[in-house]
């Protein structure tokens, strides 16, 4: 049995379409949604990915609220818009949040308002959580299909119910201080709007948590590709979903090279994903719009559980051999030498950012050079280790066989947790000093200690980038090459310094208030250090003499549009675009070109298609040597 309609028969009403960037999640979500609506099922499809590709896939403009899609009588769609959701949330809840924080701290009400406002900009995952909690109790649609962001940020979204519960506990502690004072003075307490708000938010988060963990109501469709690096991340993703209690209802191997064989090329992926295996054959670029979604859905075919061809394992053992571009064409990678002190490799998920970043790092670390080069990933779901076929963790390690090249997969969450723990220790020391002066501030201790729960999501990645900027500033490395998260979250990271700096200032104001009760001690040291590092990051990113962006793209309609959005946005942010690299171009084909911001002087290069994709130091080096000028 084949086709998207057949797959829908195996899935519950809520479907999370998940996977590594670039595997075809958005196309899959659009195809499933159109197939569902074509069966006269009221269907809602939405995207939580800030890259905003769902509108392109459906061939229809989308807004922040569900809109009917022309050409499909039972289909509605919308694109989650974090700023719009944030404004709506504050319009409904800002006053009550300010009241709660005002009751629980020594801040002036104006400072409280600034703290609340500063905690919420750019929080894509939090706003997605709030919207999903609303949809969990909305019965207008018989089926809901969610096109998600790439791996790391979707896992963060799925973790938010737990972390948001901690935030609600912090707010409840603030409100409890008010309850205690009222009971002390009035000998009774009546619940008010603040109590109702906290109870409502807890109920909504609990409802969403219950839905996500209910196999009869919700399951994930894990989309992958028959490539070693992609499969490795997909295995980790399937395990992470299982740890969070979310069922994998199906695995789709997209764009399989051979439609007559099983495309489930990893027995390990099959063992960790309980859902049925499906595949689509590789047939050129996907057509956009409803007809394109229907055509993609018609190509979807299921696979018997007994067929298991471990083609990826064999493919990874073969060497990638780039197609010869022709001796007359100039060697393209030489156009990028020397790289900027900080080079960020950006683009849509799945375009080959990580492999390009590896190629640039291997080229920059020339034999006999005394210059040290650092290759680092800030993506919450890093793939450097998979691409280089080497064990790489959160520490800087010298790449075996490449003297002077160091690599690191930065664990931003762990680094920020260490910062948070140091802050908590200093706050404890401050309140221990207050207790020595017979001041009872036990409620305040918990409140101030846990205020990092109000940190804007994404600040952990900025904190990791700050450490990288520090390495550039202190010239520990001559060149630093960063492999970040895909487009939407890269843009958020580039916008984050101003947001994070404002937040640290607001938090510092609160901590300084307690100096009036005793000694400040070292409680503000971590915040001052963080603010200093954020300013250094901001200065580095806006300096074209030290920082540049290399954009990686594919000659595919969805990628073209997202690449244009990326180049336009970074042009506004003032980040220098050094080059656009068109990846996976077949020999003999003319690569496309895209208009760049007027200030950009970027080269446009071609990186040729290989089969299989280059993996390992030798294969990536040979592939990089074949690049040429577009």
- Cα distances from 291 to residues 14, 72, 606, in angstroms, run 23, 11, 31
Report which of 300, 241, 245 is spatially closest to residue 276, judged by C-alpha positions: 300
The pLDDT of 171-182, averaged and rounded, is: 86
Report which of 46, 30, 31 is spatially closest to residue 301, judged by C-alpha positions: 31
Burial class (CB in 10 A: 0-12, 13-18, 19+), 324: exposed
Query: How high is the pLDDT of residue 181?
Result: 84
Total length of the chain? 630
- Mean pLDDT for all residues in the chain: 80
pLDDT greater than 60 at residue 305: no
Q: Which helix (H) or strand (E) holds 465?
A: helix 459-473
**What b-and-e string marks burial along 531-556, b requiring 16 or more CB atoms within 10 Å of the CB?**
bebbebbbebbebeebbbbbbbbbbb
Q: Which residue has the higher pLDDT, 42 or 169?
A: 42
Query: How high is the pLDDT of residue 320?
Result: 41
Distance of CA 121 to the CA centre of its chain: 16
pLDDT greater than 50 at residue 453: yes
The overall longest dimension of the chain from CA atoms, in Å, is 89
Query: How high is the pLDDT of residue 356?
Result: 95
CA distance 342 to 137: 47
308 is catalytic: no
Q: Of residues 38, 49, 450, 483, which has the active-site annotation?
A: 49
CA distance 442 to 237: 41
Given pLDDT bands bounded at 50, 70 and 90, which one contains residue 322? very low
Which of 123-137, 167-181, 569-583 is predicted with the least confidence, judged by mean pLDDT?
123-137
Residue ranges covered by each domain of the chain: 4-84+129-157+204-313
Given pLDDT bands bounded at 50, 70 and 90, which one contains residue 42? very high
Which of 32-36, 89-93, 159-163, 372-376 is predicted with the least confidence, judged by mean pLDDT?
159-163
* Residue where the block lists tokens 């063992």: 271
CB–CB of 379/154 below 8 Å? Answer: no
Query: How high is the pLDDT of residue 465?
Result: 81
Query: How high is the pLDDT of residue 344?
Result: 94
pLDDT greater than 60 at residue 600: no
pLDDT greater than 50 at residue 315: no
Which of 6-15, 412-421, 579-588 is predicted with the least confidence, judged by mean pLDDT?
412-421
User: Which pLDDT tens digit goes with each residue over 507-535?
Assistant: 777 767 666 555 455 656 677 777 888 88
Query: How high is the pLDDT of residue 449?
Result: 73
Query: How high is the pLDDT of residue 442?
Result: 64
**What b-and-e string marks burial along 571-584, b requiring 16 or more CB atoms within 10 Å of the CB?**
beeebbbbbbbbbb
CA distance 274 to 238: 9
pLDDT greater than 70 at residue 484: yes
Query: How high is the pLDDT of residue 196?
Result: 94
Would you list the DSSP string of 75-90? Answer: EEEEE--HHHHHHHHH
Pairing mode, strands 603-608 and 628-629: antiparallel
Query: Looking at domain 4-84+129-157+204-313, which CATH architecture does it have?
Result: 3-Layer(aba) Sandwich (3.40)
Q: Look up the pTM and report it.
A: 0.76
The pLDDT of 465-489, averaged and rounded, is: 85
């Amino acid at each position: 049995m084949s086709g998207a309609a057949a797959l829908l028969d195996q899935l519950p009403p809520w479907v999370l379409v998940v996977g590594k960037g670039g595997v075809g999640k958005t196309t899959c979500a659009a195809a499933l949604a159109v197939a569902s609506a074509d069966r006269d099922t009221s269907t809602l499809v939405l995207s939580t990915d800030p890259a905003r590709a769902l509108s392109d896939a459906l061939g229809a403009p989308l807004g922040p609220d569900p809109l009917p899609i022309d050409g499909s009588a039972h289909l509605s769609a919308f694109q989650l818009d974090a700023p719009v959701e944030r404004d709506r949330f504050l319009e409904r809840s800002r006053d009550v949040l300010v009241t709660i924080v005002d009751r629980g701290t020594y801040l002036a009400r104006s400072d409280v308002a600034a703290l609340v406002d500063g905690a919420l900009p750019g929080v894509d995952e939090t706003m997605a959580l709030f919207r999903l909690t609303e949809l969990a109790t909305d019965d207008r649609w018989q089926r809901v299909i969610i096109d998600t962001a790439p791996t790391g940020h979707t896992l963060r979204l799925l973790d938010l119910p737990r972390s948001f519960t901690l935030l609600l506990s912090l707010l409840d502690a603030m409100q409890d201080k008010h309850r205690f004072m009222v009971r002390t003075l009035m000998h009774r307490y009546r619940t008010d709007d603040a109590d109702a708000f906290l109870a409502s938010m807890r109920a909504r988060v609990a409802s969403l948590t219950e839905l996500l963990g209910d196999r009869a109501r919700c399951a994930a469709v894990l989309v992958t590709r028959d490539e070693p690096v992609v499969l490795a991340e997909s295995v980790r993703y399937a395990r992470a979903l299982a740890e969070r209690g979310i069922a994998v209802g199906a695995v789709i191997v997209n764009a399989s090279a051979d439609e007559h064989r099983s495309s489930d090329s990893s027995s390990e992926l099959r063992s960790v994903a309980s859902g049925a295996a499906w595949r689509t054959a590789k047939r050129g670029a996907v057509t956009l719009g409803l007809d394109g979604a229907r055509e993609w859905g018609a190509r979807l075919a299921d696979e018997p559980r007994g067929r298991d061809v471990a083609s990826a394992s064999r493919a990874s053992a073969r060497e990638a051999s780039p197609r010869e571009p022709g001796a007359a064409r100039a060697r393209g990678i030489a156009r990028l030498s020397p790289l900027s002190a900080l080079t960020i490799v950006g683009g849509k998920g799945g375009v080959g950012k990580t492999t390009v970043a590896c190629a640039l790092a291997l080229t920059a670390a020339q034999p006999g050079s005394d210059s040290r080069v650092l290759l680092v990933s800030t993506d919450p779901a890093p793939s450097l280790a998979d691409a280089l076929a080497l064990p790489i963790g959160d520490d800087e390690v010298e790449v075996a066989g490449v003297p002077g090249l160091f690599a690191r997969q930065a664990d931003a969450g762990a680094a920020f947790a260490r910062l948070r723990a140091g802050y908590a220790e200093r706050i404890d020391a401050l309140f221990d000093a207050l207790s020595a002066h017979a001041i009872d501030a036990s409620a305040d201790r918990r409140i101030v200690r846990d205020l990092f729960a109000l940190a804007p999501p994404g600040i952990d990645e900025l904190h990791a980038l700050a450490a990288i900027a520090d390495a550039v500033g202190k010239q520990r490395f001559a060149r630093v090459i960063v492999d970040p998260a895909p487009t939407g979250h890269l843009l958020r990271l580039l916008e984050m310094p101003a947001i994070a700096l404002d937040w640290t200032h607001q938090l510092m104001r609160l901590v300084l208030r307690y100096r009036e009760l005793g000694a400040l001690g070292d409680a503000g040291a971590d915040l001052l250090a963080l603010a200093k590092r954020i300013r250094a990051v901001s200065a580095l990113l806006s300096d074209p003499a030290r920082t540049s962006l290399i954009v990686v793209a594919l000659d595919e309609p969805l990628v073209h549009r997202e690449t244009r959005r990326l180049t336009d946005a970074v042009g506004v942010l003032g980040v220098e675009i050094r080059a656009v690299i068109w990846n996976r171009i077949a020999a003999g084909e003319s690569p496309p070109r895209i208009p760049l911001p007027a200030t950009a002087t970027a080269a446009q290069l071609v990186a040729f298609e290989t089969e299989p994709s280059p993996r390992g130091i030798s294969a990536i080096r040979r592939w990089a040597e074949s690049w040429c000028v577009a």
